[in-house]
Amino acid sequence: MYDLVKNRFDINNEYLFNDEFGQQGTTMTYDKYRHRFDKVMKRLKMIHSPHETRHTFITLAKNANIDEYKLKLIVGHAIQDITEKVYTHRSIEELKEEINKI
């Protein structure tokens, strides 16, 4: 997983996945991503949606006992607990440690 991110990381671009040969710019829009995802699913003769990857990741994270609040930060879910949301700060290293539990 680290190599996937490392190979795509570009400090000059705010997005991890880009369309460097795109006719309408390099931004990988959801529509572009979905179209490519669907092509891969068709080629593999599978029926899945991109959203299912979130289900898989969160299930794996729960099975690995990843801290619930760190998991919510990683996947972008809202945190309702005021103490956790406002007063608790997490470092990137802490989040990496949690992901590495999987």
- Cβ-contact 101, 66 below 8 angstroms: yes
The pair phi, psi for residue 27, each rounded to 5°, is: -65, 130
Model confidence pLDDT, tens digit, residues 24-66: 777 778 888 899 899 999 999 999 998 898 999 999 999 999 9
Residue 1 in this model has a pLDDT that exceeds 70? no
For the whole prediction, is pTM greater than 0.75?
no
Place 83 in a pLDDT band, splitting at 50, 70 and 90: very high
- Considering only 7-11, 26-30, 82-86, which range has the smallest mean pLDDT? 7-11
Output 29-37 pairs: Cβ under 8 A, ≥24 positions apart.
none
What CA–CA distance (Å, rounded) separates 69 from 90? 10
- Tell me how crowded residue 31 is: count the other CB atoms within 10 A of its CB: 8
Model confidence pLDDT, tens digit, residues 66-81: 999 999 999 999 999 9
Structure tokens at 20: 């460097």
